[in-house]
Amino acid sequence: MQSAKTDPKMVSILGATGSVGQSSLDMIAAAPERYQIHALTAHSNVKALAQAALAHDAKFVAIGDETLYAELKDLLSGHAIELAAGEQGLLEAASRQTDIVIGAIVGAAGIRPTMAALQAGNQVALANKEALVCAGDVIMAEAKRQDLRILPVDSEHNAIFQIFEEANIDEIDEVIITASGGPFRQWSLDAIERATAEQALKHPNWDMGAKVTIDSASMMNKGLEVIEAHHLYKISQDKFSVVVHPQSAIHGLVRYSDGSLLAHMGAPDMCIPIAHCLAWPERASAPTKRLDLVTLGQMTFEAPDLVRFPCLRLALEAMKHGGNLPNIMNAANEVAVAAFLAGNITFGGIPRLVEAVMDKMAEQGCLPVSDLDLVLEVDREARGYARDHLPHLCH
């Protein structure tokens, strides 16, 4: 019997030129009978964006930085591709009707496009954890209103998604998010404080964009991920925990009340969760890396050290406090990471700046995250405080 041929799924990628964006394009190129590109966006890498648009026969392309619109037009002249620029362009790309929108923008810049994709009724596969950290309540409410599931691309959340039994949610005792521990796992506090950007950018297991790599070195990434998980999986905060697992073979675990502890394993390759999201609710073969257990040999686990990694402590405190404190913390962290990469502050300056901004703004009381305009206003205000405070930390 001949199997019925189905149309390919149409996919848009927000942040197509980044690490997750490029891995997504690779997965799509490997299965052209299953997936086709609709819209692509990038912030400023206009050449890579144009190249991806031509290679993947995109129908709509948007560049965030409006000053690069003329160059984009030039690069794509003679091709029947609709072009746009600026925030409106990004929002239109997100709103175009597709089967799936991959949210792979880095930072709070992804909040509005993620929301626009959902408001248009598009299924979202989300890598952009900062969108949930800052605006999780608003974004999850919109997904619910639209009767859409946010598919987690972040490897730990995708792992949990695959083993989280929603029907037995009351019997879930614990959700464990693993962390590689990053390049400074065994460093002293003093050495971590003085780490250079070159050292922080050398992640032992994962190949990622600069911001998330620095966040992994400070373990802020794990803190952002616990907050992200709390929005995605509606169980109480005290059921989430972090375990350092340097081999990055297990990505997430769920413990049930009968004593079962389910783990999701795989090679540290973002193509695996991306392939899972693209095919969901089905599964489809994908040219991803395979985890060989004998080569792996052994797995080890440690408790995270909140003294040497104060960013993780700050993120857990922000989650516990709730309201818009995670929103404030994220903005301060984005300013701090950029300042560190620019050579303006030390690695130890990152948590100091984040804590100073959190303390300052918490004095005013932390409001609930009720709408997107408020989230973006708080984001701007916290960035302002962070920039004002930077000179105190500059070396």
Query: Dihedrals φ, ψ of 313, to 5°?
Result: -60, -45
Q: Coil, helix or strand for 99?
A: coil
Q: For residue 128, which amino acid is it?
A: N
Stretch (H or E) spanning 387: helix 372-389
106 touching ligand NAD, by CB under 6 A: yes
Instruction: Tell me the closest approach of the beta carbon of residue 20 to Mg ion, in angstroms.
Output: 10
In the list Mg ion, ligand NAD, none, the entry touching 206 (Cβ below 5 to 8 angstroms by class) is ligand NAD
Smaller CB distance to ligand NAD: residue 36 or 213? Answer: 213
Residues 68-97 that bind ligand NAD (CB under 6 A): 90
- Among the listed residues 154, 317, 334, 379, the single contact to Mg ion using CB under 5 A: 154
* Distance (Å, whole) CA 178 – CA 301: 9
What angle, 0 to 180 degrees and rounded to 10, lies between the N-to-C axes of helices 349-362 and 210-218? 90
Question: How many residues of this chain bind Mg ion (CB under 5 A)?
Answer: 3
Instruction: Tell me the closest approach of the beta carbon of residue 106 to ligand NAD, in angstroms.
Output: 4
In the list ligand NAD, Mg ion, none, the entry touching 256 (Cβ below 5 to 8 angstroms by class) is none
Residue 257, Ramachandran bin (φ over 0: left; ψ between -120 and 50: alpha; else beta): alpha
Smaller CB distance to Mg ion: residue 114 or 155? Answer: 155
288 touching ligand NAD, by CB under 6 A: no
- Among the listed residues 10, 27, 64, 315, the single contact to ligand NAD using CB under 6 A: 64
Encoded one letter per residue, x for contact with Mg ion by CB under 5 A and - for no contact, window 155-174 reads xx------------------
Q: Which DSSP state fits 206?
A: -
* Degrees, nearest 5: CA angle 201-124-37: 85
Smaller CB distance to ligand NAD: residue 274 or 356? Answer: 274
Contacts of 122 (CB under 8 A, 6+ apart): 12, 94, 95, 96, 97, 98, 99, 100, 101, 148
Residues 32-61 that bind ligand NAD (CB under 6 A): 42-43, 45
Instruction: Tell me the closest approach of the beta carbon of residue 51 to ligand NAD, in angstroms.
Output: 13
In the list ligand NAD, Mg ion, none, the entry touching 192 (Cβ below 5 to 8 angstroms by class) is none
Reference 39, options 88, 97, 86, 78; nearest CA is 97
Using the structure block, give the residue that is written with the tokens 């300013």: 335
Smaller CB distance to ligand NAD: residue 127 or 159? Answer: 127
338 touching ligand NAD, by CB under 6 A: no
105 touching ligand NAD, by CB under 6 A: yes
46, 73, 78, 83, 85 from 67: Cα distances, Å: 11, 11, 21, 13, 8
272 touching ligand NAD, by CB under 6 A: no
Smaller CB distance to ligand NAD: residue 21 or 255? Answer: 21
Query: Half-sphere exposure of residue 267, counting CA atoms within 13 Å on the CB side?
Result: 14
Alpha helix (H) residue ranges in 146-188: 155-163
Binding site for Mg ion (CB under 5 A): 154-156
Binding site for ligand NAD (CB under 6 A): 15-21, 42-43, 45, 64, 90, 104-106, 109, 127-130, 154, 206, 208-209, 211-212, 270
